[in-house]
Amino acid sequence: MSEAYIQNLIAERIGGRQYGKSTAIYKFEKIKRAKRAALTAHPGAEIIDMGVGEPDEMAFPEVVAELHKEALKSENRGYADNGDAALKEAAARYLDRVCGVQGIDPETEVMHSIGSKAALSILPAALINPGDYVLMTSPGYPVFGTHAKYYGGLVHNLRLAEANSFLPDLDGVPKDILGKAKVLVVNYPNNPTGASASSEFFAKVVSFAQANRLVVVHDAAYAALVFEGKPLSFLATAGAKEVGVELHSTSKSFNMTGWRCGFVAGNELLVKAYGDVKDNTDSGQFLAIQHAAAYCFDHPEITGKIAAKYSRRMDALVKVLGAAGFDEKKTKGSFFLYVKAPKVAVTKNGVRRDFRNAEEVSQWLISEKLISTVPWDDADAYLRFSVTFMAKDATDETRVLNELANRLGEVSFEF
Ligand SMILES: Cc1ncc(COP(=O)(O)O)c(C=O)c1O
């Protein structure tokens, strides 16, 4: 069989006959390669990895114990399909107690997900016809848009700028796009900017959606990780349930990225449509995992402890970056600190390096200082630091941050 046999059969949506032939290297692969090269050049050295996008610790022991207990039950062994009542009811209680969202019907307005990523990949099938536009924030988590494009949809990016507190300028969407737009995807606290929304912003989102007949998908993957006050749910906004759904996940809030469990809640018809496509996509998350997730949603104090750790690390990181010349303020939630990338670095021995973009800064920091960050050049040049860096304990955490301060202190940055 010729090599072209399968190549000629690949769908256009992932590149068709050109699939797999591109030599372009993507951002995260570039970071990986730069880290490998830095370690080869400096054998035995430590990379200070501030680019991690997930929790550094495992799930709490009581959650693992719950999984163990539930995994031993014969009735949990089979296909879970669209789930049983345990997670749905815990999710409704969670939305009420933790987020102040009353009146969610667990039977009809909640359904589990195999993580928010899976939900974001399923929802476009329920909503997008060819030619429909999705309004997505940029920079942002692209999964909904990727799948919308698979269905012939188009993505219009809403730039997140610091001057607008990293909130999208909804009034700036061109009229012709708005006429063809069907979905608005937002995510707060936001990856990568770390910015939080306000109830005024969510109220504006609801009225904007109503005025333009849009569905709103609020990806609340980081919603529970707040440093003060209560998590802000989109569903707590008057009218939100008429226009949209919100996605919650145990991944970041309960240190459970690998467990793959969350939920979609909100508009009944949207939840039903999500469930219908989901039913034709997967056979549900293992019930033992769903029940452990339900345990989590009834124990939000776990998230409180995780958030307290991130808050402590964030305070220290802001100081370290401030001392190195970065203009940075602590965020209200998430584990990200999004800092303006410097334009120039001058080392102690007077060597000057100009940067054209954040990617160049990130590569330079890895190769010269063994500090890993994630660059974002989608809307201005920024670096994303994450407080989920590896540290054995609080003492080690201080050591890592001191080491970061020492390495950055050897450089004078210009912005
Ligand atoms: C904004 C955002 N949404 C969703 C996800 C995926 O979350 P989950 O693990 O629940 O699929 C991530 C993961 O990094 C994320 O940053």
The average pLDDT across 39-43 equals 95
Establish whether residue 189 lines the binding site of ligand 1, counting it when its CB lies within 6 angstroms of any ligand atom. no
Q: pLDDT band at residue 218, thresholds of 50, 70 and 90?
A: very high
Element spanning 92, H or E:
helix 85-97
Q: Is the dihedral of CA 54, 56, 62, 66 positive or negative?
A: positive
* pLDDT over 80 at 379, yes or no: yes
Rounded to the nearest integer, the mean pLDDT of the chain is 96
Residue 37 neighbours by CB distance under 10 Å: 13
pTM over 0.85: yes
Q: What is the mean pLDDT of residues 129-154?
A: 98
Cα(221) to centroid(ligand 1), Å: 6
Strand partners, 413: 345
Q: 10 CA to middle of ligand 1, Å?
A: 28
| Atom from ligand 1 closest to the CA of residue 117 | 11
From 116, 121, 253, mutation site for ligand 1 pocket: most ligand atoms within 8 A of C-beta: 116
Query: Is the C-beta atom of 221 inside 6 A of ligand 1?
Result: yes
Is the pLDDT at 351 greater than 90? The verdict is yes
Q: pLDDT tens, 225-240? A: 999 889 999 999 999 9
> Stretch 110-124: mean pLDDT, rounded?
98
pLDDT at 253 over 70: yes
Which residue, among 47, 375, 412, has the nearest Cα to 192 in the 3D structure? 375
Q: What is the pLDDT of residue 146?
A: 98
| pLDDT tier, 328 (very low <50, low <70, confident <90, very high otherwise) | confident
Is residue 116 in contact with ligand 1, taking CB distance under 6 Å?
yes
Q: Please compute the mean of the pLDDT values over residues 130-152 and round it to a whole number.
A: 98
Residue 216, strand partner residues? 184, 244
Does residue 191 have its Cβ closer than 6 Å to ligand 1?
yes
Sheet holding 181-186, edge to edge: 110-113, 262-266, 244-249, 215-219, 181-186, 133-138, 154-159
Whether residue 249 has its Cβ less than 6 Å from ligand 1:
yes
pLDDT score, position 2: 75
pLDDT single digits (tens) 390-402: 999 999 999 999 9
Rounded Cα gap, residues 267 and 272, in angstroms: 9
Burial of 124 (0-12, 13-18, 19+ CB in 10 A): buried
Report the relative pairing of strands 344-347 and 352-354 from DSSP bridges. antiparallel
Supply the pLDDT for residue 148. Answer: 98
Give the pLDDT of residue 297: 98
**Residue 401 to residues 317, 318, 339, Cα–Cα distance (Å):** 7, 10, 16
pLDDT at 1 over 80: no
How much of the chain exceeds pLDDT 90, in percent?
96
Which ligand 1 atom lies nearest to the CA of residue 250? 10
Pocket test for ligand 1, best of 27, 117, 248 (most atoms within 8 A of CB): 117
Averaged pLDDT, 50-70: 97
Cα→Cα distances 298→94, 293, 303, Å:
6, 9, 11
What is the 97 CA–ligand 1 centroid distance (Å)? 23
Tell me: pLDDT of 179 over 80.
yes
